[in-house]
Chain A
Amino acid sequence: MNNRWLPWILLAPALILILALTIYPLFNTVYLSFRQYDMYSLMTGVSTWVGLSNYTETLTDPFFWTVTRNTVVFGMACVFGTMIAGLLVALLLNTKFKGSKILGIVILIPWVFPAVAGGIVWRWMFNDQYGVANYLLTQIGLTRFDGFAWFNSPWTAFTVIFFMIVWQSFPFIAVSLLAGFQTIPDTLYEAAEIDGANAWHKVTKITLPMLKPLLLILFILSTIWDFKIFDQIYVMTEGGPARGTYVLALYSWSEAFNSLNFGMASAIAMLMFVLLMFFIVIYIYFLREEKGGKRA
């Protein structure tokens, strides 16, 4: 076996799979978004070019804008909720108290929990009649939650899903930030202490600036994950009540596999991608700015 070809032979299985099943479909989504592709096309392979009409139809549909607003507001709320919860837990674990190691393991349980099982359990906890959440809220004196139906309005349904998403995704952020904390030399904190800095100053003046690149990467990852949330919403509300908890991922999927309108669904998927890229470009701009600032 020639040594020059060996690395390519080792890489081949991975590259073939990735190219065939992710890069190719990626370009195919763009192609499909310009076509009228329905159930008939799926059976026969025949589809017609319709130019931008999938896009114009989507962009002029008020429902698309409602869903986009849901996706952005809900997605950003999840990103910030997750980041704040993750940061606070990482700071807590970093204080190294007795049992902090065990807590570091326990917090990862929500993260390995299958999203579908998690959705079902959360739905049960927030059941209007027998849910433990309503029971506890009523016990502490909030009697209006007695028999409160969380999934009857989009607003409260989104609230429950928000808490579930934050519960599932803070562990990854906490673990990553904790690893980041350990890269900051202790001497920095000691010097600040001599200068009379308190705990708050140490976090805002040393920890956060030092971790800015890591924080931005975690922001990017969370944004990608939270903008494509599908499983939890599908399981907990199926988009209801009355499509009130639709987000773009669910909307695109439902357009494809319920309405069998694959062309239109691809256009929605592309618009979702553009929206996501818009947010990521903003983060990367901040990342660049930080690097430039350091050089100066």
Chain B
Amino acid sequence: MKRKTTFQKVLIYLAAIFVFVVSMFPFWWMVISSLKPTSEIFSSVPTFWPHDITFQHYYNIFVRANFWVYFTNSLMVAGTVTVLGTGIAALAGYAIGRFNIKGKNAILLMILSVQMFPLVVMIIPLFIVMSRLGLVNSLVGLVIVYLTFALPFCIWMMRSYFASIPVEIEEAAMIDGCTRMQAFRKVIFPLAWPGVSATSIFAFITAWNEFVFAVTFIQDDSLRTLPLALQQFFSRFTADFGGLMAASTIATIPVLLFFIFFQRKMTKGLVQGSVNT
């Protein structure tokens, strides 16, 4: 490789700093705004570093605005979707990746096209079906819907992980006396663990961040998930920006933590799932 000139290096670093600031700024602005006292939030010259840090806004939203309820709802919904979605996708991904099934290509194509389909188009019939089943205004209904629309991508990711594991490994396990399911559970599943964790992060983030179905399906205040509670909090208390920033931070931190711990696996899984098709 040719060495870069100083001018090129300066240019690269300037661009890098610009991209860094643009990516980070809204997140950082949200967090510091949530820690500023109200008087500082509404000062005519914004402060880029809070002068007096306060946790008053966090205290307010948890005590006054029931945020624990919404937080727990989101956690339950996203947690269930993660566990069930990853499990179901692992089984399906294994079946597609390992067996010669009739109509395999048709199934793959169907899964892919569902993944590519704009889901807003089917929210109306889904709402009608769910209301007939009594699952509108229930967290179970949300879990079922989120599960379905996280699944296509999860299956796709799991399939590519299983496909990257040599068949000889399970053949060896089966020669050693394992049944097919035992080989899957004891040998293949542990080997596919990076793929499993990538898939589970994807499922978690999808369910945690989802809004359209929540706003359509949920009516009771006690059943709201965080994004929904956030939006309704926002349209009612537009003056309380400190509280809003605290609430937004609460909704963002769990996905961000999840993401920071597993980001390498997730990006790898995403790229494998989306590009190497």
Contact surface of A with B, Cβ cutoff 8 Å: 1, 3, 6-8, 10-11, 13-15, 17-18, 20-26, 28-29, 32, 42, 45, 89, 92, 95, 97, 99-100, 103-110, 112-118, 120-125, 127, 129-130, 132, 135, 167, 171-172, 175-176, 179-180, 193, 214, 220-221, 224, 227-228, 230-231, 234-235, 238, 249, 252-253, 256-257, 262, 265-266, 269-270, 272-273, 276
Contacts and interface: CB of A to CB of B under 8 A. Distances in A.
Given A14-B155, A130-B42, A257 B216 contact: yes
Q: Main SS of the interface on chain B?
A: helix
**Residue among A42, A117, A265, A276 facing the most chain B CB atoms (10 A cut-off):** A117
Contact of B245 (A3, A10, A121, A256): A121
B196 interface: no
A30 to B, nearest CB: 9
Contact of A109 (B29, B101, B228, B256): B256
Nearest to A88: B15
Contact of A26 (B16, B98, B117, B147): B117
Interface residues of B, number: 94
Contacts of B2: 193
Contact of B248 (A120, A171, A272): A120
A132 B235 contact: no
B151 A14 contact: yes
A124 B244 contact: yes
A22 B114 contact: yes
Which secondary structure dominates chain A's binding surface? helix
A109 B267 CA distance: 12
A117 B91 contact: no
A117 B23 contact: no
Interface in B68-127: 88-89, 91-92, 94-96, 98-99, 101, 107, 110-111, 114, 116-127
Interface of B: 2, 4, 9, 12-13, 15-16, 19-20, 22-24, 26-27, 29-30, 33, 41-46, 88-89, 91-92, 94-96, 98-99, 101, 107, 110-111, 114, 116-129, 131-132, 144-145, 147-149, 151-152, 155, 180-181, 205, 208-209, 211-212, 215-216, 226-228, 230-231, 234-235, 241, 244-245, 248-249, 251-252, 255-256, 259-260, 263, 267, 270-271, 274-275
Contacts of B95: 6-8, 10-11
A198 B29 CA distance: 40
Nearest to B201: A112
A17 B151 contact: yes
Contacts of B148: 17-18, 20-22
A108 B252 contact: no
A103 B16 contact: yes
27 contacts: A6-B180, A8-B95, A10-B95, A11-B96, A13-B91, A15-B92, A17-B148, A18-B152, A22-B122, A25-B122, A109-B256, A112-B255, A112-B259, A114-B209, A116-B227, A117-B30, A117-B230, A117-B249, A167-B22, A176-B271, A214-B275, A224-B116, A227-B118, A230-B120, A253-B120, A253-B212, A269-B120
A7 B275 contact: no
B271 A235 contact: no
Nearest to A118: B26
A220 to B, nearest CB: 7
A94 to B, nearest CB: 11
A101 to B, nearest CB: 10
Given A6-B180, A23-B114, A135-B45, 12 more contacts: A11-B91, A18-B151, A103-B16, A105-B263, A112-B205, A112-B255, A114-B226, A114-B227, A116-B231, A121-B27, A127-B241, A171-B23
A202 to B, nearest CB: 12
Contacts of B122: 22, 25-26, 28-29, 269
